[in-house]
Amino acid sequence: MNLELRTSNLSIIGTGYVGLTTGLGFAELGNRVICVDIDKNKIQGLKNGIIPIYEKGMEELLKKNRKRISFTTNLRKAVKESGVIFIAVGTPAKDTGEADLSQIIDVAQNLRDAIDSYKVIVIKSTVPVGSVELIRDILSKKKREGKDFDLVVNPEFLREGDAVYDFFHPSRIVIGTNSRRAADILLKLYKPLNSPTLITSPIDAQMIKYAANAFLASRISFINEIATIAERVGADIKNIVKGLSYDPRLGEGYLSPGIGFGGPCLIKDLKALISIAQSRDYEPRYLKSILDKNEEQMKSIVVKVKKALGGILYGRTLGILGLSFKPYTKDVRNSLAMRIVELLKLEGAKIKAYDPIAMDEARGLISDIEYLKDPYDLKEIDLLLILVGYKEFKDLDYAKIKRGMTNPIIIDGVNLLDPAQMRSSGFIYKGVGR
């Protein structure tokens, strides 16, 4: 089989959010895709049509593309049958803030033994500067770059909850490689998406990803800082954000004050970028201040709760709406909502919690709170705390919930509700920057 034919055969190593979205997306574009994972239960579930994550549109994509996508634990066979191999395994943060590259190293070692003809190895995982050289060194012990393989850094810009949409409507595609041959193959793969495309060096591609996430994180910490000041002076952050959003230099994205940023990417990547800078003898004080403000913002929500209840949480029962790190995802990794729950527990509070999607995942992290099947089961609570901005929370009958509350207090950590409306309904209402 010649290269022209084989480039339509792809392997995706790793079936998390990025890997599964990428695999299904390329299958929808007409490619034959093999998804590889070491988790036998996950692979068996996918073979049976069971998707291990919640992502809008993913279930329909899988049903539609069953003939073009397959799932296996056999990496060697997948590599043999593919011209392009995407690496989409996790790179979690170590305690030091550095990215843990153990999964990347394992994949590279397995690829080194599995490559039997020219392959384009595409690094989708977010990896720090120096990782490409590490992968190259591992592969080059048995294979020759340019003859047996070429490396490409192709960062993802997928938002959890909107990942399927983002795959088909990318803001940009970044292809970082020193190989014109590999770049042309990737350009052909992505051509149907008709997106702005940047071909650059691997190092530039890596830094684009880290810089993008650091900038998004900085916007969140910035608007939370302004929200804190707005509270002190009696201004309404909603109007401030609206005024900012009209400026074409600023826009409105990532200017929603709340409990801070969490999830699997922003904190991890910001810490990794800080570590990269420090390893090059530079102290990135500004980047560190973004993390410091985020930590302060999360803890400020607990302070609001304590103040609203007279400073004592021991023995108080608190209702929680929202546990995932953002709406419409099951993901509770680095969820600030979960961290807030833990802090409230440490103060002696009893917790009753509800999330429309992430309850099972939350139970896996915190087992000793009461999980409710329905938000209207929030009864005999001293305060209601909204931590995730699900639309259905905005549409709840709060008069009904109020009848079951000991104290009609709402702390709205995501500014979901209208303050005037809630106060006219008899609630003591506190938002963020309002």
User: Stretch 279-294: mean pLDDT, rounded?
Assistant: 96
Is the separation of the CB atoms in 403 and 380 below 8 Å? no
- How far apart CA 347 and CA 213 sit, in angstroms, is 33
* Percentage with pLDDT > 70 across the chain: 98
User: Stretch 71-100: mean pLDDT, rounded?
Assistant: 92
Q: What pLDDT is attached to residue 4?
A: 42
* Percentage with pLDDT > 90 across the chain: 91
Q: What pLDDT is attached to residue 2?
A: 37
Torsion, Cα of 336, 340, 346, 348 (10° steps): -160
Q: What pLDDT is attached to residue 104?
A: 96
Considering the domain architecture, whether residues 245 and 359 belong to the same structural domain is answered as: yes
Tell me whether residue 176 is exposed, middle or buried, using C-beta atoms within 10 angstroms of its C-beta: 0 to 12, 13 to 18, 19 or more. Answer: buried
Considering the domain architecture, whether residues 261 and 325 belong to the same structural domain is answered as: yes
Instruction: Report long-range pairs for 277-285 (Cβ below 8 Å, ≥24 apart).
Output: none
Is the separation of the CB atoms in 362 and 323 below 8 Å? yes
Band of pLDDT at residue 6, cut at 50, 70 and 90? very low
Considering the domain architecture, whether residues 405 and 333 belong to the same structural domain is answered as: yes
Q: Which of 174, 168, 158 is nearest to 208 (CA)?
A: 174
> For residue 317, is pLDDT > 90?
yes
Is the separation of the CB atoms in 33 and 10 below 8 Å? yes
Considering the domain architecture, whether residues 246 and 151 belong to the same structural domain is answered as: no
Considering the domain architecture, whether residues 144 and 243 belong to the same structural domain is answered as: no
Does residue 208 fall inside a structural domain? Answer: no
User: Stretch 53-81: mean pLDDT, rounded?
Assistant: 94
φ and ψ at residue 371, rounded to 5 degrees: -95, 130
- How far apart CA 400 and CA 156 sit, in angstroms, is 43
> For residue 363, is pLDDT > 90?
yes
> Backbone dihedral region of 310: left (phi > 0), alpha (psi from -120 to 50 degrees) or beta?
left
Tell me whether residue 18 is exposed, middle or buried, using C-beta atoms within 10 angstroms of its C-beta: 0 to 12, 13 to 18, 19 or more. Answer: buried
Considering the domain architecture, whether residues 130 and 171 belong to the same structural domain is answered as: yes
Is the separation of the CB atoms in 406 and 381 below 8 Å? yes
> For residue 251, is pLDDT > 70?
yes
Q: What pLDDT is attached to residue 416?
A: 97
- How far apart CA 232 and CA 220 sit, in angstroms, is 19
Does residue 206 fall inside a structural domain? Answer: no
Does residue 211 fall inside a structural domain? Answer: no
Which residue is catalytic, options 18, 20, 121, 265? 265
User: Stretch 373-385: mean pLDDT, rounded?
Assistant: 96
Which tens digit of pLDDT belongs to each residue from 194-236?
999 999 999 999 999 999 999 999 999 999 999 999 999 999 9
Does residue 17 fall inside a structural domain? Answer: yes
Considering the domain architecture, whether residues 21 and 167 belong to the same structural domain is answered as: yes
Measured CA to CA in angstroms, residue 30 lies from 3, 119, 189, 236, 314 at distances of 17, 20, 10, 50, 58
The H or E element spanning position 423 is helix 419-424
Number of domains in the chain: 2
Considering the domain architecture, whether residues 292 and 381 belong to the same structural domain is answered as: yes
Does residue 297 fall inside a structural domain? Answer: yes
Does residue 353 fall inside a structural domain? Answer: yes
Considering the domain architecture, whether residues 340 and 422 belong to the same structural domain is answered as: yes
Which tens digit of pLDDT belongs to each residue from 110-142?
999 999 999 999 999 999 888 999 999 999 999
∠ CA(192), CA(117), CA(155), 5° rounding?
40
Global confidence as pTM: 0.91
Does residue 365 fall inside a structural domain? Answer: yes
Active site residue 265: yes
Is the separation of the CB atoms in 398 and 426 below 8 Å? no
Q: What pLDDT is attached to residue 8?
A: 60
Considering the domain architecture, whether residues 167 and 40 belong to the same structural domain is answered as: yes
> At residue 31, what is the residue type?
N
Q: DSSP of 8-56, one letter per residue?
A: TEEEEE--SHHHHHHHHHHHHTT-EEEEE-S-HHHHHHHHTT--SS--T
Considering the domain architecture, whether residues 268 and 138 belong to the same structural domain is answered as: no
Q: In what order do the strands lie in the sheet with 197-200?
A: 69-72, 32-36, 9-13, 84-87, 119-123, 149-153, 173-176, 197-200
CATH number of the domain that residue 36 is part of: 3.40.50.720
> For residue 7, is pLDDT > 60?
no
The domain containing residue 238 runs over which residues?
Answer: 216-430
Does residue 285 fall inside a structural domain? Answer: yes
Considering the domain architecture, whether residues 239 and 190 belong to the same structural domain is answered as: no
Q: What pLDDT is attached to residue 191?
A: 96
Greater confidence, 243 or 6? Answer: 243
